[in-house]
Amino acid sequence: MVNTAALTGVNGLQEIRRSPASHLAAALEAGSVPGKVVLREGPFQTMAGVRVDPRSEEGTRIASVTGGLPVRCGEVAGTERVSVLWLGPSEFLVVAPEEAHDSLGGDLIGSLTAALGDAPGQVVDLSANRTTFELSGPRARAVLEKGCALDLHPRSFTPGTALTTEVGNIPVTLLKTGEESYRLFPRASFADFLGRWLLDGMREFASPEVP
């Protein structure tokens, strides 16, 4: 296998990468309504799917790498740089900045793999499997409620909560990052559809007659 990073260098690798929704950048900017709702594709992130029994020795080793593992549905654990989202009792999504990826000088994937060792479980590099949409503003929740079955009211869906759901019939992991901000993690193959769906849901707020 050709080592692309070795041929191009770290900076070269970053320059040739294209995000799944990069072709929508102009549309996302044009469709955003400052003061009401803003949509953008987030930067590349290092992501790993982890399957491990959190009560086991290997679970403890994994937790030492990530800064902890969530113990209940909706909980997010980790550190300031590494977030661990609960997908199931023994399934987690680890999210970290782009530079944490092994191909860019980091060691997150390798450290997780080493922590698991030969024990039962799984560590899968999902960095190229998903992208990130960031939706924010006072009307962000109203946009999501057009196609999400979750109760998104602040009393139920609080900042720092992440749940697996569907938005516009697209499977996503939905993380509430602030009182009026959300992060959506769809598979890369659904990025175009979900981006356009969100833009369509935002369209009504472009009218000055709609608060």
Identity (one letter) of the amino acid at 56? S
**pLDDT value at position 208?**
85
**pLDDT value at position 9?**
52
Per domain, the residue ranges of the chain are 21-42+131-211, 44-128
**Does the predicted model carry a pTM greater than 0.85?**
yes
Model confidence pLDDT, tens digit, residues 59-70: 999 999 999 999
Helix (H, G, I), strand (E, B) or coil at 164: strand
- The CATH H-level superfamily of 44-128 is Heterotetrameric sarcosine oxidase (3.30.70.1520)
Model confidence pLDDT, tens digit, residues 107-159: 999 999 999 999 999 999 999 999 999 999 999 999 999 999 999 999 999 99
**pLDDT value at position 210?**
76
Model confidence pLDDT, tens digit, residues 175-199: 999 999 999 999 999 999 999 999 9
21-42+131-211 is a CATH 3.30.1360.120 domain: yes
CB contact at 8 A, 28 and 131 = no
Distances in Å between the Cα of 199 and the Cα atoms of 40, 134, 146, 182, 191 are 10, 12, 12, 15, 12
196: left (phi over 0), alpha (psi -120 to 50) or beta: alpha
Place of tokens 């949509």: 39
**Cα 180 to Cα 105: distance, rounded to the nearest angstrom:** 34
